[in-house]
Amino acid sequence: MKDTFLVAGREVRQALRLRSFWIVIGVLLVGSSAGMIIPELVGDGRTHIQVASVDLSPAFETSLRTTAESLDVDVDIEVFDHVEAARQAVESETADVAAVGGAAPTVVARTGDNELVLGLVHQALGAEVLAARIEAAGVPAAEAQAILAAPPPLVEELDTGGESRRAAAAIVATVLYVILLMLMVSVATGTAIEKSNRISEVLLAIVKPGALLFGKVIGVGFTGLATLSAGIVPVAVKLAVGGELPDGLAVALLGGAPWILLGVAFYLTIAGSLGSLVERQEEAGSVVTPLSVLLVGTLLVAQSGADSPLGAVLAHIPFTAPLVMPARIALGVAEPVEMAISIAIGLLALAVAARFGSVVYRRAIVHTGNRLKLREVLRRGTAGVAA
């Protein structure tokens, strides 16, 4: 175990000396910070309108504000004494629209103005005119206002925040995909470089093959998670200060942590062992191509169908669960039982991957001369491969 952590420490120190490592961290930190700050600067998503009012009763304002509130619209009303002043406010864009009462009720707006704004003002002005006509018909003013003050119909929204949760699921799945892909290539390439330069032979004289493989996996995995944390820090800060996050994002990051760790350990163990099959650094990418293709397919499901029956199945498969299960958690469809089963299967699969990786790495890392096939390595013993 001591040798394993010595190798892991070596990998971390090497990563810290790379400029690319700090560039990636900087990009993630800036990008995540922008994603947290920009929505606050842009606003809360509500529409704000400025209305110029001429010769209208308080009932107009009440009707307009009531209807606007039901549509998440904030209204500011400025009262003018003359029609021309209100018209000038619209022309100068001080007001979005003007509502004029009296004998000839009129709505003044710029050409091409928002139909929602026109609809709200037109409806409120219509209610004002209707109230005047009811009063003219002999109905007391108080009774007329009570008739027109009926609350708008209750709007019941189904799947509130559904789009936000889907966006969070897609973001989490995409980030995990990129991290896993980068780390797989990194660990496979590192193994191939050490083998082609005979560095592994020197290291194997000091440590066992298993310690060399798992130390590399731990070291590269740690640097990868450190990189990921650079993107999570702004999210955590915003959550800590009481800021609002997209629905499902925080729970996906927290609840999905076990699958993130399992995924990194599982994929890197396999990628590191496969990297020992090649003779040249240029070949390292090709040995992890099947895993890369599998991740692409998994990403598509995690982004668009994590809550489907297929997504429920893939959430239990060790190769696909690291992307699909956090997405299902973000969508709010993951059940505690399936999460427990998925973790149990993932731990079992990690043990199998560790055994598989250890065997392949031990038999292939000392072989030189030509690229090995996985089937050949699994079929032959250490002595046969080394010969």
What is the per-residue pLDDT across 347-385, written as a single tens digit (0 to 9) for each?
Answer: 999 999 999 998 888 888 877 777 878 888 877 654 444
What length does the chain have?
Answer: 387
CATH number of 47-148: 3.40.190.10
- Res 384: pLDDT: 45
Burial of 208 (C-beta count, 10 Å sphere; 0-12/13-18/19+): middle
- pLDDT over 90 for what percent of the chain? 21
Any idea which of 74-83, 185-194, 259-268, 304-313 has the lowest mean pLDDT?
74-83
> What is the pLDDT of the chain when averaged over all its residues?
81
What crossing angle do the helices spanning 58-70 and 141-148 adopt, rounded to 10°?
10
Q: Which of residues 358 and 149 earns the better pLDDT score?
A: 358
Q: pLDDT tens digit string along 262-308?
A: 999 999 999 999 988 888 888 888 888 999 999 999 999 998 889 99
Residue 7 one-letter amino acid: V
Find residue 49's DSSP bridge partners: 75
pLDDT at 70 over 80: no
Q: Are 131 and 150 in contact (CB under 8 A)?
A: no
Domain boundaries, the chain: 47-148, 162-386
Q: What is the value of pTM for the model shown? A: 0.70
pLDDT at 387 over 50: no
pLDDT at 111 over 70: no
Nearest to 15 by CA among 275, 267, 229, 223: 223
Kindly state the tokens that stand for 54: 């001429």
- Res 41: pLDDT: 66
Find residue 195's DSSP bridge partners: none
Taking residues 136-153, report their average pLDDT.
65
Calpha distance 111→310 (Å, rounded) = 50
Q: What phi and psi, each to the nearest 5 degrees, are found at residue 53?
A: -115, 135
Q: pLDDT tens digit string along 115-133?
A: 667 777 777 777 667 766 7
Q: pLDDT tens digit string along 307-317?
A: 999 999 999 99
Antiparallel, parallel or unpaired: β 97-100 and 106-109: antiparallel
Nearest to 183 by CA among 215, 213, 222, 209: 222
Taking residues 329-333, report their average pLDDT.
89
Taking residues 236-256, report their average pLDDT.
77
